Amino acid sequence: MGKSFGSAKAYYRHLRLLSEHFGADPRSLSQKRLREYLVHLREERGWAAST
């Protein structure tokens, strides 16, 4: 099942932000680093999962 253009655009935006945050290719990041980033978004930026 394909994603809408808006969803794909949002996914790419978040990958870019992740890459910029760590200065590395997101594919090279460990699960620990990804968790650190998600905690950063939640605690420092006030982001929450959408429902």
9-29 pLDDT tens trace: 999 999 999 999 999 999 999
Structural domain span for residue 20: 5-44
Please report, to the nearest 10 degrees, the dihedral formed by the alpha carbons of residues 33, 14, 21, 39 taken in order: -50
Query: What global pTM score does this model have?
Result: 0.69
Question: Given the structure tokens 């998600």, which residue do they identify?
Answer: 38
* Number of structural domains found in the chain: 1
Identify the band that residue 45 occupies on the pLDDT scale cut at 50, 70 and 90. confident
Is residue 51 domain-resident?
A: no
Residue 50 lies in a domain: no
